[in-house]
């Protein structure tokens, strides 16, 4: 997955005032902050509960699908794949999505 390979080094070290830590097990396609309170997984399957008619929430050029069953789960929907984001209630999903938009858009353009 070219997009995920490009995204990994572009991800910020700090999100919503918390530091990035190593995932367990380590993976280039998984990033965690605040010991997993914020987690990003690149290259996940299309959400099973996402219908073709569902509206995405756009944040700075990235379309996000909010899971109807899990209010802390969001999936970025791109033409190159899907990126899953889990944000605990202790953090602001909007802030996290804004901070992730630039690296995601940049990775998409680099993977082209």
- pLDDT band (50, 70, 90) for residue 1: confident
Do the domain assignments include residue 16? Answer: no
Instruction: Please state the domain count of the chain.
Output: 1
Do the domain assignments include residue 15? Answer: no
Do the domain assignments include residue 52? Answer: no
Collapsed DSSP state (helix, strand, coil) of residue 3: helix
Do the domain assignments include residue 99? Answer: yes
Q: Using one digit for the tens of pLDDT, what is the confidence trace for 99-110?
A: 999 999 999 999
> Interior CA angle at 30 toward 64 and 40, to 5°?
25
**If we measure between CA atoms, which residue out of 1, 5, 12 comes closest to residue 100?**
12
Q: Using one digit for the tens of pLDDT, what is the confidence trace for 19-65?
A: 999 899 999 999 999 999 999 999 999 999 999 899 999 999 999 99
Whether the model pTM is above 0.85: yes
pLDDT of residue 15: 96
């Amino acid at each position: 997955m070219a997009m995920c390979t490009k995204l990994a080094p572009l991800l910020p070290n700090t999100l919503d005032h918390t530091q990035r830590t190593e995932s367990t097990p380590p993976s280039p396609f998984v990033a965690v902050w605040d010991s997993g309170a914020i987690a990003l997984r690149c290259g996940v399957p299309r959400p099973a509960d996402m219908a073709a008619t569902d509206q995405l929430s756009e944040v700075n050029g990235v379309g996000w699908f909010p899971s109807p069953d899990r209010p802390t789960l969001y999936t970025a929907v791109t033409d190159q794949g899907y990126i899953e984001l889990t944000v605990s209630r202790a953090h602001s999903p909007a802030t996290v999505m804004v901070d992730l938009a630039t690296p995601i858009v940049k990775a998409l353009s680099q993977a082209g």
